[in-house]
Amino acid sequence: MAPLVKYTTLFINNQWVDAKSGKTFETFSPNDGSVIARVSEGDKADIDLAVSAAKAAFHRNSEWRLLDASARGRLLNKFAELVERDIQYLGELESYNNGMVLGMAVGIVQKSINGARYAASLADKIQGDTIPADGDLFSYTLKQPVGVCGLILPWNAPILMFINKVCTALAAGCTVVVKPAEQTPLTSLALAALLKEAGVPAGVVNVVTGFGPGAGTSLTHHPDVAKISFTGSLEVGKHIQQAAGKTNLKRVTLELGGKSPLVIMNDADLKLAVPFAARGVFGNQGQMCFAASRLFVQSGIYEQFVEEAVEFAKNIKVGNPVDPGVEHGPQVDREMMAKVLGYIEKGKQEGAKLMCGGKRIGSTGYFIEPTVFVDVQDDMIIAREEIFGPVQSIFKFETLDEVIERANNTNYGLASGIFTNNINNALHFARHVEAGNVWINTYLASTAQTPFGGFKDSGVGREKGIDCVDEYLEVKTVTISLQKEF
Ligand code: NAI
Ligand code: MG
């Protein structure tokens, strides 16, 4: 049975309200293309209201600003408890609207709860320094919340993105306006209801559903927004950085995907490497910023690896994401499905060898077969652009130095990995690869405690980890004269 959809309107100042224009848009189930609900289409007028609520909630005398830091932490822990209470429902709603396999969706909600608790634990540990400044001076620093933050979310892991960004911003003491992706508005609204239930004061968290042009651009251009945190495409990330400089100088955190290399050395344990490489690119139907979309296999094991990788891909169980045993659901929407199928065609045209998959499955829902290409060359389009779909591209290499050079030959730099039993080779790779994350004999291992973000075009700033709140803080230096007349 489909999960109940309880909220479909905007959430501003702890109230559920229609868009000023009265407009709504349809949201779909990618499993069969059916309409789930109509959701309010927020635009500039609604963003203005939401930002003004967030600004009022940020006033120095507001209930929120006067809360003890430890009380902010307790509110976030209360929220984490409520998410845990509703974990099954939230997982089902995520799966329904996004197409994520249910078991994975529930697992990601659990990961998000860990993130919320981690952020909660940081709320009362935001401390400045005392500084031995030259002269008869005493200096100390205060770390203070930056202000109203615009949080723009993607559709590939909506709950995780919402909880990580919102809880970090709130731990820092900021107030926020969230703009979920148009494909997946429902779980953000459900989470807003839980924040209200937890007791977060009005105006601290606002959610405006709608489109990028419209709600998104109004947020990035708003003069009262101090910071934007965005996860999504490189193209929009560049727009956001420009918009952020237009009205006021907004701080930006950008997480923009990648073309991440995973290297399998001759001495790797294939029983580990084959499944990790597969899950690293087929997980969530390949809709992962850190997907291992360039798989480099050393020549000594190339043939054997390819054989096992193709066998693995062929045996992935595709189907309705809520059915038990299903490992692979639909792409999020028709547009993304078409984009991925387009890349598969380009791969074939450019001479990469298709070993399995490559086609859409059925005609309702947006399913694509897990696809493996071999003999992929570095200059092919499928080797350079982010596909964001279930396409494993396998490259052959001879030496570690060669593969580091080729791994770094990309504008992206989000994640990377290496499977080897030689510690020196692993650490040499870790030192020289240009990526924000390096996984050794594992892949996709990212927790609340570990910083996440990209080099180069993969983004600006880091999320998660002990310094994550710094992205939402300003440092204020206070200097006092200690000069005394004797
Ligand atoms: P997108 O970057 O257009 O959308 C992400 C979010 O940005 C959505 O909330 C959208 O409404 C908003 N947005 C779009 N244009 C905006 C603008 N001008 N100003 C402010 N906000 C705006 O991503 P899209 O079109 O959904 O996917 C395109 C590609 O982006 C994917 O195929 C994939 O390669 C990449 N992507 C990467 C993600 C990641 O995790 N880093 C997540 C989603 C997409
Ligand atoms: Mg887009």
Which tokens sit at 274? 């084959």
Length reported for the chain: 486
Start-end ranges of CATH 3.40.309.10 in the chain? 261-449
Q: Where in the chain is the domain with CATH 3.40.605.10?
A: 10-256
What is the spatial distance between Cα 229 and Cα 461, in angstroms, rounded to a whole number?
Answer: 9
- Tokens representing residue 18 in the block: 């229609």
Closest among 298, 273, 278 to 288, alpha carbons compared: 278
CA–CA dist 205, 220 (Å, integer): 17
Backbone φ, ψ for residue 223 (5° rounding): -65, -20
d(CA 264, CA 441): 9
* Measured distance CA(411)–CA(414) in Å, rounded: 10
Which ligand is located closest to the Cα atom of residue 218? 1
Distance CA 294, CA 383 (A): 7
Measure 329 CA to ligand 1 centroid, in angstroms: 20
Q: For atom 6 of ligand 1, which residue has the closest CA?
A: 154
Q: Is 58 helix (H, G, I), strand (E, B) or coil?
A: coil
Q: What is the number of the ligand 1 atom nearest to the C-alpha of 181?
A: 9
End-to-end alpha-carbon separation of the chain, Å? 82
- State which ligand 1 atom lies nearest to the alpha carbon of 459: 41
> What's the token pair of residue 269?
């344990």
- Residue 385 CA to ligand 1 center (angstroms) comes to 15
Count of beta carbons in the 10 Å neighbourhood of residue 360: 16
Nearest ligand to the CA of 257 is: 1
Q: Annotated catalytic, 289?
A: yes
* 10-256 carries CATH number 3.10.580.10: no
DSSP code of 443? S
Specify whether the backbone of 162 is left (phi greater than 0), alpha (psi in -120 to 50) or beta: alpha
CB 407: neighbour CB atoms within 10 A?
Answer: 26
- What's the 423 CA to ligand 1 centre distance in angstroms? 38
Q: What is the bridge-based pairing of β-strands 15-17 and 367-368?
A: unpaired
What does the alpha-carbon distance between residue 216 and residue 220 come to, in Å, rounded to a whole number?
6
Which residue pairs, CB below 8 angstroms and at least 24 apart, start in 139-142?
139/477, 139/478, 139/479, 139/480, 140/477, 140/478, 141/475, 141/476, 141/477, 141/478, 142/475, 142/476, 142/478
Show the tokens assigned to 64.
Answer: 């929120």
Distance of alpha carbon 3 from alpha carbon 95, whole angstroms: 10
Q: List the residue whose alpha carbon is closest to atom 37 of ligand 1.
A: 232
Ligand 2 centroid from CA 240, angstroms = 12
> Rounded to whole angstroms, how far apart are CA atoms 68 and 63?
10
Atom 14 in ligand 1: which residue has the minimum CA distance? 212
CA–CA separation, 279 vs 110, rounded Å? 19
How many alpha carbons lie under 13 Å from residue 63 in its C-beta half-sphere?
8
Contact 304, 290 (CB under 8 A): no
Strand partners, 88: none
Mutational pocket test of ligand 1: of 217, 230, 236, the residue with most ligand atoms within 8 Å of the beta carbon: 236
Return d(Cα 10, Cα 299) in angstroms, integer: 55
Tell me which residue has its CA closest to atom 29 in ligand 1: 233
Set 255, 308, 386, 471: catalytic member: 255
Q: How far is it, in rounded angstroms, from Cα 135 to Cα 481?
A: 9
CB atoms < 10 A from the CB of 63, how many? 12
> 47 C-alpha to center of ligand 2: Å?
19
Yes or no: is domain 261-449 CATH 3.40.190.170? no
Residue ID of nearest Cα to ligand 1 atom 44: 232
Counting ligands in written order, which one lies closest to the CA of residue 185? 1
Tokens 């997982």 identify what position?
Answer: 91
Chunked mean pLDDT (size 10), the chain, 486 residues: 96 98 98 98 99 99 98 98 98 98 98 98 98 95 98 98 98 99 98 98 99 98 98 98 95 97 98 98 98 98 98 98 97 98 98 98 97 98 98 98 98 98 98 98 97 98 97 98 82
Q: Is the pTM value of this prediction over 0.85?
A: yes
> What pLDDT sits at residue 1?
85
- Classified as helix, coil or strand, 310 is helix
**Which residue's alpha carbon is at the smallest distance from atom 43 of ligand 1?**
232
Distance 351 CA to ligand 1 centre (A): 30
**Which pLDDT belongs to residue 168?**
98
Count of alpha carbons within 13 angstroms of residue 81, beta-carbon side: 9
Q: Which of the listed residues 161, 233, 234, 293 should we mutate to test ligand 1's pocket, taking the one with most ligand atoms within 8 A of CB?
A: 233
**Atom of ligand 1 lying closest to residue 289 CA:** 40
- Considering every ligand atom, which ligand is closest to the CA of 41? 1
Residues lining ligand 1, judged by CB closer than 6 Å? 152-156, 179, 181-182, 211-213, 216-217, 220, 231-233, 236, 239-240, 255-257, 289, 336, 339, 386, 388
Nearest CA to ligand 1 atom 15: 212
- Report the separation in Å between the CA atom of 212 and the middle of ligand 2, taken as the mean of its atom positions: 7
